[in-house]
Every structure is written in C-alpha cells, then in structure tokens.
C-alpha cells in the first residue's frame, strides 16, 4: 500500500510539474507575442506619423505613391532578392508571368519610330475579333495620345481587368482616315509552348516561351505528340 501510495503521489507531482512547465512556457510565448505585437504597433505608428508629416510639411511637393513604393522596396531589399512587392497596376504582368494568363486585348505590339503598332493579334481574342490587323498604328488609347510611348507604357494601358472597355484610335495604311474601335478586354491565355515540330527527320524542336505553372505538362504533351 505504501509503495502504491508513493507511486501515485510521484505521478501527481510529475503531472503537476508538467502542467506548471506548460503554463510557464505558454506564459513566455504569450509575453513574447505581446511584446512583438506592441513593438510592431509602435513602429507602425511612428511610420504613419512620419509619412503624414513628410507629405504635409515638406518644403517641396512630394509624390506619396512614389515615396511609399520606395520605402517598401528598400525594406524588402534588406531581406533577400526574392521577396518583392507587386502593386495592383502590375498584377496583370505578374499573372501573365506565372500562369500565361492576363486581362487584355490579346495582341503582340511593337515600337516603330514614335508609335506602337499591332504586330500580331491572337486569333479568337478581343483585338482579332474587333478587326485589328498586323501593321495597325495605335494613335490614341482612351482619348490619350500614344505618340512617344514605349511598348511597356502602351502595354500597361492595354492590359486590365476582363470586361473593362478600351477605345483605340487606329491608323491603317490602306484607309484614308484614322478610325475608332472600342471593345472589352478579356482573359487571354498564351501557351507556354507556342510551337513544336520537326527540324528534320529524327530531330524535334519544342519552343518553351516561359516557365509558367503548367509548362512541364505543355512540354510533355508536345514531346508525346512528336514522339507519336
């Protein structure tokens, strides 16, 4: 009986000890979390106050958006090369890079002299369905002149959320006067393998356009078609 009583007492002490250690450990975590949250809130308050004061009282006119972007980029640069901030204005480029999909007119554009031209409208997508052709010069986009704009600047305006409207003023060589064309953007999907075929007997060629999420399957499918 005495041995049994001692065993139960020891088990109770062990359980109480474990419970006490657990409570102590949880308390440390809670205190650490509270301290981290307090420090985070404190620094956010400092940053908000500084940002507001700077944009309100700085001797010259400031550009709040550029200041914020600069601050975010510098903060992330201190971590590693892979953590980046993608603003909403560049989300279509990011989506295209990772999935091959984007919201836009579905056409390749190119720069010649001071204007950007339609180089290749993708069949079945908005630009093609609206009647745009290779060689069409883009004079205006939504009433704003496209003269002197780079392909990147024009592309950024042409891209956008599906079902949003875009109006282009187009100049075509065979037409006497420029004409307007309006249509909605759509979700455009560009395959990561635009072409595969035989260079000569026994030698196949597979063109991989970009490393999107499903590019491995696209390469596999192209290979199997060539192999068959």
For the chain, domain boundaries: 1-85, 103-189, 195-227
Contacts of 209 (CB under 8 A, 6+ apart): 100, 190, 191, 192, 193, 194
Question: Strand 203-207 relative to strand 107-112: parallel, antiparallel, unpaired?
Answer: unpaired
User: What angle is formed at CA 184 by the lines to CA 179 and CA 185, rounded to 5 degrees?
Assistant: 115
Query: Does the pLDDT at position 59 exceed 80?
Result: yes
User: Residues 65-84: what's their mean pLDDT?
Assistant: 86
For the chain, report the end-to-end CA distance as a whole number of angstroms.
82
Question: Where is pLDDT greater, at 14 or 179?
Answer: 179
Mean pLDDT of all residues belonging to the chain: 82
140 forms beta bridges with 145, 169
According to the 3-state scheme, what is the secondary structure of 208-228?
CCCCCCCHHHHHHHHHHHHHC
Query: Does the pLDDT at position 1 exceed 90?
Result: no
The CATH architecture annotation of domain 103-189 reads Roll (2.30)
pLDDT of residue 11: 52
Q: Extract the tokens encoding 34.
A: 């509270």
Query: Does the pLDDT at position 25 exceed 60?
Result: no
Which of the residue ranges 28-32, 78-82, 147-151, 161-165 has the most confident prediction, judged by mean pLDDT? 147-151
pLDDT of residue 152: 87
Percent of the chain with pLDDT over 90: 31
Contacts of 67 (CB under 8 A, 6+ apart): 51, 54, 55
The 10s digit of each residue's pLDDT in 187-199 is 887 778 878 999 8
User: DSSP assignment, residue 100?
Assistant: S
pLDDT of residue 165: 92
Query: Does the pLDDT at position 181 exceed 90?
Result: yes
């Amino acid at each position: 009986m005495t041995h049994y009583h001692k065993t139960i007492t020891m088990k109770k002490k062990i359980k109480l000890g474990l419970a006490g250690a657990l409570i102590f450990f949880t308390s440390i975590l809670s205190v650490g979390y509270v301290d981290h949250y307090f420090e985070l809130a404190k620094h956010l308050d400092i940053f908000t106050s500084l940002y507001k004061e700077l944009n309100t009282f700085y001797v010259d006119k400031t550009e709040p958006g550029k200041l914020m972007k600069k601050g975010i980029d510098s903060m992330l640069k201190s971590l590693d090369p892979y953590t980046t901030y993608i603003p909403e204005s560049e989300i279509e480029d990011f989506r295209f890079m990772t999935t091959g999909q984007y919201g836009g007119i579905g056409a390749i554009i190119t720069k010649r002299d001071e204007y950007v031209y339609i180089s290749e409208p993708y069949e079945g997508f908005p630009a093609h369905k609206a009647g745009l052709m290779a060689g069409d010069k883009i004079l205006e986009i939504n009433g704003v002149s496209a003269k002197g704009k780079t392909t990147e600047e024009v592309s950024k305006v042409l891209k956008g959320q599906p079902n949003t409207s875009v109006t282009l003023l187009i100049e075509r060589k065979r037409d006497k006067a420029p004409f307007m064309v309006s249509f909605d953007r759509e979700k455009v999907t560009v395959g990561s393998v635009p072409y595969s075929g035989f260079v000569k007997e026994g030698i196949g060629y597979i063109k991989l356009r970009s490393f999107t999420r499903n590019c491995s399957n696209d390469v596999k499918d192209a290979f199997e078609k060539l192999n068959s």
